[in-house]
Amino acid sequence: MDHFLYRNGSLHAEDVPVSEIAAAVGAPFYLYSTATLLRHFQLFDDALEPMPHLVCYAMKAASNQAILKTLGDAGAGMDVVSGGEYLRAKAAGVAGEKIVFSGVGKTRDEVRLALTGGIRQFNVESEPEMRVISEVAVSLGVDAPITIRVNPDVDAKTHAKIATGKSENKFGIPISRAREVYAEAAKLPGLKVIGIDVHIGSQLTELAPFEAAYLKVAELTEILRADGHDITRLDLGGGLGIPYTRSNEAPPLPTDYGALIQRTVGHLGCEIEIEPGRLIAGNAGILVSRVIYVKEGEDRRFLILDAAMNDLIRPAMYDAYHDIIPVQEPAAATEPATYDIVGPVCESGDTFAKGREMPPVGEGDLVAFRSAGAYGAVMSSEYNTRPLIPEVMVHGDQFAVIRPRPTFDEIINRDTLPAWL
């Protein structure tokens, strides 16, 4: 459930008409609902209630500081994957002790940054990385808390570009080698081994792959404990999917997921961490865009929008489906029209949907892409010298711009010409 609903004939974000925000900010823009963000965080927090736990929001999904502060103030920790994300989480007021550092190639500088500023744990991805963390910790005279990310060789049954738990993926160490890697970790100075980490992919729409992975983690916990390691924390990653289409998709709910966690690893007495990104931010954000032209092609009709692939790359990159609805509510009996919905960028890949049925819209009308809150704004670029679009947040009957649209001068003046020109 989200808080983007038609009321009095027009789409509202919580209590604010989307058209009113468009009039103030100009299209296109991203729009987030505070109540939806909080609701989704709360669902996870409640689902893990029977166990000691921390929900660490995977901020790669949507990293505006207003989003981080909303969730941080509600008690969320953060999962970061770069020095930049670490600093952003800190800037939004999240304590280092609530930040976990994931990511396949942490550099010495990033490790130093986190050890100096405070960190809950590093999720180690490889043996060379583990040695670097040890070295940097020793040089600073501190102990780095670590888990090791194991790759359980489980098929997450999701899009190939976002599956991470098979042995051919670059993530983690093979679970079959976990004992020897943990043995090395225990011997390295400056490391404090505290647990195990696993993350098998994103947009999972079934529980079975999670179950397979978590059962393997439970078994490994017992083995590592028998080897003498003090395993007190399990980071079970993120990945729970969301419904992108309104009708036929019903991914498992956070409560089902929480019950699964309890059933598979609850008996171990570990503190549980999870790293959801998409389920918290995805349906908490929409992308609002205006129809520039309706163009009649030979055998199709194109809806040309002012948003493009540089603003929302997911359809071009993952063939992702996003519901696109008019901001003005269509009359109940309206016959749908069929469109190819595209942006103005000079590539055929700049196509949001082909042969999409939706209520008819015309030039100047506003449309909203649903479920665009996660991996939307964060993956946008200035391709075609198109300014990054603003981000706006609503809270009840208030709204605020949380990232303004840059001016063309700001963009152009970032370039510097070399002395010889």
The single-letter DSSP state of residue 6 is: E
Q: Which is nearer to ligand LLP, 34 or 151 (CB)?
A: 151
Euclidean distance between CA atoms 18 and 384, whole angstroms: 27
Euclidean distance between CA atoms 231 and 177, whole angstroms: 17
Euclidean distance between CA atoms 300 and 309, whole angstroms: 20
Euclidean distance between CA atoms 260 and 207, whole angstroms: 8
The alpha helices in 299-407, defined as continuous H runs, are 314-318
| Smallest distance, ligand LLP to C-beta of residue 359, A | 26
Provide the 3-class DSSP secondary structure of residue 177. Answer: helix
Q: Which is nearer to ligand LLP, 14 or 45 (CB)?
A: 45
Q: Which is nearer to ligand LLP, 339 or 375 (CB)?
A: 375
| Smallest distance, ligand LLP to C-beta of residue 8, A | 33
Q: Which is nearer to ligand LLP, 238 or 326 (CB)?
A: 238
| Smallest distance, ligand LLP to C-beta of residue 318, A | 5
| Smallest distance, ligand LLP to C-beta of residue 51, A | 19
| Smallest distance, ligand LLP to C-beta of residue 370, A | 14
Is residue 346 part of the annotated active site? The answer reads yes
Binding site for ligand LLP (CB under 6 A): 58, 61, 79, 102, 162, 199, 202-203, 237-239, 275-279, 314, 318, 374-375
Residues, the chain? 421
**Beta strands at 301-305 and 285-296: parallel, antiparallel or unpaired:** antiparallel
Widest Cα–Cα separation across the chain: 71
Catalytic residue among 226, 331, 333, 346: 346
Burial class (CB in 10 A: 0-12, 13-18, 19+), 24: exposed
Q: Which is nearer to ligand LLP, 317 or 411 (CB)?
A: 317
H/E run at residue 279: helix 278-281
Q: Which residues are catalytic?
A: 346
